[in-house]
Structure 1
Amino acid sequence: MSATTPPTTPTPAHAGAAPGRRRVLAQTLFETRAILRNGEQLLLAIVIPVVALVGLTRATFVELDTGGASRIDFLTPGVLALAVMSSAFTSQAIATSFDRRNGVLRLLATTPLGRGGLLAGKVLGVLLVEVVQVTVITLTALWLGWQPDPAGTVPAVVSVVLGTAAFTALALLLAGTLRAEAVLAVANLVWLLLAVAGGVVLPADQLPGPMAHLALLLPSGALGEALRESLLHGTLPAWSVVVLLGWTAALGWGAGRLFRWH
């Protein structure tokens, strides 16, 4: 090197990369489009909840103990909980597990997006999908005559956020520890079991035998109860909040310790 040649300054690894917020936003939009463009996930996230809402509301031959509320007022909170569980848990677990199997997670984790940005994009993508779900289900329910308690709007939003956190943590725990094919089977089976006997659409106290007590301790039962109390009575039950926070902490800790990126 000659005396007149200026010294070379090392180039940072992420030089020229977009700002962190833009990277996360781009990943968020990608995750959202991936879910909404996938026919199977779209069926699980939106079509099934809407069909369940319309079918159970119109099927008057099916006996329901609504506690004095109309059928649509009683059923809508549970269907919203089912929709949150579908997108935050089942769709997220399956998509993340196949991304992991195909090496997508390992590749993205080494880019300027980083692991934190990737996870943030996935969580925010779930929330955007839930906005679409809630909008579609709400419009359908209003068309069917739904009259929610206006005071329950904020408690319902809090319930959805807490439920999303708990089920996303469960999704990442499964996706980061099991093979993709196993996640596909387990996630769908768990979704079906929780939908039928997890206190989601029907309150825990209407389930048979010990399930009436067990469901209250499950994230599905806690979310269903939180949304029902919020939208029927305008209150957020403290026990549901405790259960959802407990599951989020436990599952998040497990995912953080056990998640494998390849």
Structure 2
Amino acid sequence: MTAPAQSRSVPPRSDPAPLARRVAAQARYEALTMLRNGEQLLLLVILPLMALVALTLTDLLDATVPAGASRVDVAVPGALALCVLSNAFSGQGIQTGFDRRYGVLRFLSTTPLGRGGLIAGKLLAIVAVLVVQYVLVAALGAALGWRPEAAAVLVSVPVLLLGAAAFTGLGLLLAGTVRAEATLAVTNLVWVLLAAVGGTLFPSSTLPAGLTWLVDVLPSGALGTALRETFLTGTPTLLPVLVLAVWAAAAWAGAVRWFRWS
């Protein structure tokens, strides 16, 4: 009798996960990395909340508060604009810059995730962190007496997303063209300047007349203006929205053209 043939073990197939699952996993990793880092958490959450409290409890905004509104009505939009600046520009720019320096970007771009999946994951992570920021700012604002209209809250979402698109493009453009250390220095300096005098926390009307027009055409000034108009009047005017759209288009065009993966 012949011996029975031995069955051969067939190694299991290792097909990559569906693209949506890969992008979601990358987004989760990116978001948790930002939120678990102490320095990033300070930038993303603590400083915007501190700014909200300071602007509400002091008289810094009194000259810009319209009739029938309160300080917190002007302070919350500024804090949300600062969240976008911290998240999409500084946070993602710094993280991407150092990922590029250590070869992480080049490695991930050769995996099944691919370059498109990596960028999509970063965008989803920014949105996820922005949701957390929005909830925290809104909760603190409510504790300080903020009572926005429901329609204004809904309108603020696309405004915030447009602002996030503009600042993400700028952050990636910077992170993909200069050294990581330079990205860290520039993003921190720009964050301070745009937060203080770039129309983020304070309306451009608080600045000297000669600087008002300059701040109004900055992405920070346009985002701050659009959010304040949204919560104070129910809808933003066309000009700041157009300014944000132009910045978003130009920033992403530059990132696509000049971003280097290593």
Which category of TM-score, normalised to the shorter sequence, fits these structures? over 0.9
Cα distance 1:159–1:205, how it changes in 2: closer, same or farther (>3 A)? same
**Equivalent residue number for residue 6 of structure 1:** none
Contiguous gaps of at least 5 residues in structure 2: 1-12
Percentage identity across paired residues of the two chains: 52
Q: How big is the shift at 1:101?
A: 0.1
> What's 1:256 paired with?
256
Instruction: Report runs of 4+ in structure 1 exceeding 6 Å deviation.
Output: none
For residue 32 of structure 1, what is the aligned residue in structure 2?
31
Which residue in 1 is equivalent to 2:189? 189
Cα distance, 1:63 vs. partner?
4.7
What are the Cα deviations for residues 101-142 of structure 1, in whole angstroms up to 9, with x where unaligned? Answer: 000000000000000000000011011000000000000000
Counterpart Cα distance in 1 of 2:217 and 2:59? 30
Q: Report which stretch shifted further, 108-117 or 198-207.
A: 198-207
Paired residues of 1:90 and 1:171 also in contact (CA < 8 A): yes
Which shifted more, 58-67 or 23-32?
58-67
Partner of residue 46, structure 1 = 45
TM-score by length of 2: 0.92
Q: Distance in 2 between matches of 1:237 and 1:230?
A: 9
Aligned length: 249
How far off is 1:207 after superposition?
Answer: 1.4
Match of 1:149 in 2: 149
Report what 1:79 is aligned to: 79
Deviations 1:152-195 (A, max 9, x none): 12220011010000000000000000000000000000111111
Match of 2:233 in 1: 233
Q: Deviations over 1:73-124 (max 9, x none)?
A: 1111111101111000000100000000000000000000000000000011
The residue that corresponds to 1:21 in the other structure is 20
User: How big is the shift at 1:60?
Assistant: 3.9
Q: How far apart in 1 are the matches of 2:251 and 2:74?
A: 30
Contact 2:61 2:74 in 1 (8 A): no
How far has the Cα of 1:248 moved from its partner?
0.7
RMSD after superposition: 1.4
- Work out the CA distance in 1 between the residues paired with 2:236 and 2:93: 28
Q: Following TM superposition, by how much is the alpha carbon of 1:205 offset from its aligned partner in structure 2, in angstroms?
A: 1.8
Gaps of 5+ in 1: 1-13
